[in-house]
Amino acid sequence: MYSRYEWVEYSVKEDAVYCFSCRHFAKSAVRKGEILGSRTFIDRGFCKWSDQHALLEQHQESEWHQSSMLAWANFRDVAAGKQTSTASQLSAGRSTEVKENREHVKALLRATRYLGCQGLAFSGHDKSPNTENRGNFCAFLKEMTEIDDNLKVKMQRRYGHYLSPVYQNDLIRVFGDRVRKTIVDEVKVANFFPS
């Protein structure tokens, strides 16, 4: 029986046969017409020994069982390192996106730091998107997109809103908070502070 049906589990205590793949890898808990706790091969074992061959074949051919066998095979492939899990693929995709987003924010912070260190204004007189000169911040980033294609694509697609005055103020606030913290920390450790 085991050589013909790899999914068979036999319980000596129950004197019954269970389906390993359906017990562990079935997609939904209860199929239509079944009652939780009374499912053959899953909750209660199969023990109709006179009809065993026909009923085992019927179970093996069922769509429910085929689905659980596929899930079990995928699990074994992931465990053996033959393929990566869906969670790993999603996690890798997310990690790539986070890395790209960080690079984008670094470019925004670089522009903020440069303008702040030079004491230059961020915004121009006309802040509308269609104006020729939207200010130093936008001009600096536009120059950076000339040498960084990835940044250029990001700015054109979904990150263009980071050029708005609201985000510029947020970036300035980040640097302001950092400068303030540095000054306060230096004052706290100083023995004397001239007035």
Given this model, what pLDDT does residue 179 score? 92
As a whole number of Å, the CA-based R_g of the chain is 32
Q: What percent of the chain has pLDDT over 90?
A: 12
DSSP symbol at 152 = H
Given this model, what pLDDT does residue 98 score? 78
pLDDT band for position 193 (cuts 50, 70, 90) = low
Nearest Cα neighbor of 53 from 118, 121, 4 is: 4
Distance between CA atoms of 5 and 44, rounded to whole angstroms? 18
Given this model, what pLDDT does residue 114 score? 92
Indicate whether this model's pTM tops 0.75: no
Query: Letter for the amino acid at 139?
Result: A
Q: Exposed, middle or buried by CB within 10 Å (0-12, 13-18, 19+), for 92?
A: exposed
Domain boundaries, the chain: 8-79, 87-189
pLDDT at 22 over 60: yes
Query: Letter for the amino acid at 37?
Result: G
Query: Letter for the amino acid at 129?
Result: P
pLDDT at 95 over 60: yes
- Residue 69 vs residue 154, higher pLDDT: 69
Given this model, what pLDDT does residue 33 score? 60
Note whether 134 and 141 are within 8 A (CB). Answer: no
Query: Letter for the amino acid at 87?
Result: A
Nearest Cα neighbor of 160 from 141, 173, 178 is: 141
pLDDT at 180 over 90: yes
Distance between CA atoms of 53 and 22, rounded to whole angstroms? 18
pLDDT band for position 99 (cuts 50, 70, 90) = confident
pLDDT band for position 34 (cuts 50, 70, 90) = low
pLDDT at 175 over 60: yes
pLDDT band for position 174 (cuts 50, 70, 90) = very high
Given this model, what pLDDT does residue 176 score? 92
pLDDT at 136 over 60: yes
Residue with tokens 């997609």, as numbered in its chain:
27
Q: What percent of the chain has pLDDT over 70?
A: 79
pLDDT band for position 86 (cuts 50, 70, 90) = low
Query: Letter for the amino acid at 71?
Result: A
Tokens standing for residue 40: 């053959």
pLDDT at 128 over 70: no
- The terminus-to-terminus CA distance of the chain in angstroms comes to 92
